[in-house]
């Protein structure tokens, strides 16, 4: 009888202990987006973001005939960091993540970062960021949440965007620019901001004919105006 009561109590208590910590989809106020006051390139929305992401990946560059690296797209995994907001780790999460990413070998597959950050940080993946060829033959950034996380299976959970604002990183020229992107297709967001960047810049020169390089970087990505 004692054993049964104990088991009953233990089982009754399980849901409280077994419920995983909420790591995804926390509400975050509009004030999350802080830009330098003396600039006009980035215009923060007055609304709260729909998604707050951490991007971990690579910026790709090809070597021009003039011996300078030119941007050639990127690939990053995006993680939900909304529930870190209002915790001490939020402000520098891009630096913490970069330190982890930078210790992994150059051969490490970017897609495998999902497993790394799930086990180390308990992060849920939101989706992927990569570039697609646009109608004019150039590259357009795409943020694709159609096959990962809560939006998996929703064919509209993506946004293709175009750059409307570009600010050299306030943390210095070693970090890629902060960007404001406006959506041109998809329902994931009407605007995307890339801020709090860490690394990702190419070397200052290259030997013409040398192959594409991938430079590791991290950043926060804020998504606004989702109509999913």
Note the residues at the interface with ligand NAG (CB under 6 A): 36, 38-39, 58, 60, 72-73, 75, 110, 131, 164, 182, 190-191, 214
Question: Shortest distance, CB of residue 79 to ligand NAG, whole angstroms?
Answer: 18
Residue 84 or residue 110: which is nearer to ligand NAG going by CB? 110
The gap from C-alpha 64 to its chain's centroid, in whole angstroms, comes to 28
CA separation for the pair 171, 124 (Å, rounded): 27
Question: Shortest distance, CB of residue 58 to ligand NAG, whole angstroms?
Answer: 5
Residue 92 or residue 112: which is nearer to ligand NAG going by CB? 112
Question: Shortest distance, CB of residue 126 to ligand NAG, whole angstroms?
Answer: 18
Residue 24 or residue 169: which is nearer to ligand NAG going by CB? 169
Residue 84 or residue 195: which is nearer to ligand NAG going by CB? 195
Using Cβ positions, the residue closest to ligand NAG within the complex turns out to be 73
Which is it for strands 213-224 and 125-133: parallel, antiparallel or unpaired?
unpaired
Separation in Å, CA 195 to CA 33, 106, 218, 219:
8, 24, 10, 6
Residue 39 or residue 122: which is nearer to ligand NAG going by CB? 39
Question: Shortest distance, CB of residue 38 to ligand NAG, whole angstroms?
Answer: 4
Q: How far apart are the first and last CA of the chain?
A: 53
Question: Shortest distance, CB of residue 59 to ligand NAG, whole angstroms?
Answer: 8
CB 82 within 8 A of CB 25: yes
CA separation for the pair 5, 11 (Å, rounded): 10
Q: Which helix (H) or strand (E) holds 190?
A: none
């Amino acid at each position: 009888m004692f054993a049964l009561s104990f088991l009953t109590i233990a089982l009754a208590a399980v849901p409280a202990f077994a419920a995983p910590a909420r790591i995804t989809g926390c509400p975050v106020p509009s004030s999350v987006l802080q830009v330098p006051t003396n600039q006009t390139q980035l215009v923060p929305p007055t609304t709260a973001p729909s998604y707050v992401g951490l991007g971990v990946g690579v910026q790709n560059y090809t070597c021009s005939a003039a011996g300078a690296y030119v941007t050639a797209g990127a690939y990053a995994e995006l993680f939900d960091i909304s529930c870190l907001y209002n915790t001490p780790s939020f402000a520098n999460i891009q630096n913490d993540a970069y330190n982890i990413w930078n210790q992994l070998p150059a051969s490490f597959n970017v897609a495998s970062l999902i497993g790394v950050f799930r086990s180390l940080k308990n992060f849920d993946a939101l989706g992927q960021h990569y570039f697609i060829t646009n109608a004019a033959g150039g590259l357009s950034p795409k943020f694709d949440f159609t096959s990962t996380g809560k939006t998996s299976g929703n064919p509209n959970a993506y946004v293709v965007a175009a750059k409307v604002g570009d600010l050299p990183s306030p943390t210095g020229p070693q970090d890629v620019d902060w960007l404001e992107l406006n959506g041109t297709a998809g329902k994931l967001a009407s605007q995307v901001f890339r801020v709090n960047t860490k690394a990702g810049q190419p070397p200052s020169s290259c030997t013409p004919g040398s192959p594409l390089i991938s430079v590791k970087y991290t950043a926060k990505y804020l998504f606004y105006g989702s109509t999913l």
